[in-house]
Amino acid sequence: MYFHDKRLQYPVTVDTPNPQFARMLQQAIGGVEGEIRVCMQYFFQAWGNRAPTTKYRDMLLHTATEEIGHIEMLATAVALNLETAPASVQEEGVMDSVVHTVMGGGNAKHAIEGMIHKNLLSAGMAAMPIDSDGVPFDMSHIYASGNIGADMYANVAAESTGRVLATRLFNATDDEGMKKMLHYMIARDTMHQQQWLAVIEELGGTENLPIPNSFPQSSEDQANNYNFYATAVDGSYPEGRWTQGPSIDGKGEFTVFQNQPLGPEPVLGAARPDSGAQKKQIGL
């Protein structure tokens, strides 16, 4: 179960509210690389964890709980960036500042831009669980496979795309408050990448491979498990670490296979009379 402190994990300030940057921040809330995703992913991995020990359940709960605070920080940042967005045409200065802005300022463009966003129409100038294009977050992005190796790689991937996004946001603003908030969040993404890689190391590193390592490799097609399939019509392929030498798991040797059909042309049974097909499909 859970507790809260009404203070923020880290200070969130905005020097110059910018509705357009508010929209960009939404990607870090409701985007597929965002904080709702990692928060919920770690929670569902924790709640379904079946390892013989509850150690990994515990650890996941610590970090999932931390992530709620990150969504909260970003939601606060969005609301603060929307503070000056106009809700009505009567609002003082909007029209005037359009001219002003184009000549050197920056707010009016943002202001008008902001008017078409759901953040204003649906939420009254607040954050929503949507991405920077207004697409709501879809919980199918919560990967919790029941295999801790697959889950840890999914977590590394999530924190990698997450940190890439955070650095893009950092580069896209010169607001000091926003840069400070983001420099903190980027640091936490660094730690979280490390953390999931540390679990992989603790679980044995390459011994985890191939995932799942509980399936006997003798049951897979051993003629096709370490060869790169070349599918170019002219037989060319790019040489690299994946075309020769020992495989990464040390259990095979990389080779190259010029791909070709190993099976016949498939023939399905004809459509049946009662199946809603056309007569000619049935042979009538």
- Count the site residues for a second copy by CB under 8 A: 196
Distance of closest approach, residue 122 Cβ to a second copy, in angstroms: 6
How far from chain centre, in Å, is Cα 94?
37
CA 125/CA 207 separation, integer angstroms: 50
Q: Does 6 bind a second copy (CB under 8 A)?
A: yes
Judge contact between 18 and 111, C-beta under 8 A: no
Q: Does 100 bind a second copy (CB under 8 A)?
A: no
Q: Does 92 bind a second copy (CB under 8 A)?
A: no
Which of 173, 151, 127, 119 has the alpha carbon at shortest distance from 44? 151
176 is in an annotated binding site: no
Q: Looking only at residues 261 through 280 of this chain, which bind a second copy when binding is defined by CB under 8 A?
A: 261-280
35 is in an annotated binding site: yes
Count of C-beta atoms within a 10 Å radius of residue 83: 12
Distance of closest approach, residue 110 Cβ to a second copy, in angstroms: 9
CA 158/CA 183 separation, integer angstroms: 18
Q: Does 210 bind a second copy (CB under 8 A)?
A: yes
Question: What three-state secondary structure class fits 208?
Answer: helix
Q: Looking only at residues 9 through 48 of this chain, which bind a second copy when binding is defined by CB under 8 A?
A: 9-12, 20, 23-24, 27, 30-33, 36, 40, 43-44, 47-48
58 is in an annotated binding site: yes
Candidate residues 72, 81, 97, 111; the one interacting with a second copy per rule CB under 8 A: 72
Q: Looking only at residues 106 through 125 of this chain, which bind a second copy when binding is defined by CB under 8 A?
A: 109, 112-113, 115-118, 120-125
Candidate residues 15, 16, 177, 209; the one interacting with a second copy per rule CB under 8 A: 209
CA 33/CA 189 separation, integer angstroms: 11
Count of C-beta atoms within a 10 Å radius of residue 148: 20
Candidate residues 62, 97, 107, 178; the one interacting with a second copy per rule CB under 8 A: 62
**x-or-dash string of contact with a second copy, 151-190, rule CB under 8 A:** --xx-xx--xx-xxx-xxxxxxxx--------xx-xxxxx
Please, what is the end-to-end C-alpha distance for the chain in angstroms? 65
| Residue type for position 176 | E
Count of C-beta atoms within a 10 Å radius of residue 1: 2
Tokens matching residue 113: 């831009």
Judge contact between 137 and 27, C-beta under 8 A: no
Candidate residues 63, 93, 111, 177; the one interacting with a second copy per rule CB under 8 A: 63
Q: Does 94 bind a second copy (CB under 8 A)?
A: no
| Residue type for position 237 | Y
91 is in an annotated binding site: no
Distance of closest approach, residue 93 Cβ to a second copy, in angstroms: 14
Distance of closest approach, residue 19 Cβ to a second copy, in angstroms: 10
Judge contact between 54 and 117, C-beta under 8 A: no
Question: What three-state secondary structure class fits 171?
Answer: helix
CA 94/CA 89 separation, integer angstroms: 7
Candidate residues 15, 38, 42, 102; the one interacting with a second copy per rule CB under 8 A: 102
Q: Does 150 bind a second copy (CB under 8 A)?
A: yes
Task: Quote the DSSP letter at residue 243.
Answer: T
Candidate residues 15, 16, 177, 203; the one interacting with a second copy per rule CB under 8 A: 203
Enumerate the known binding-site residues for Mn(2+): 35, 67, 70, 159, 192
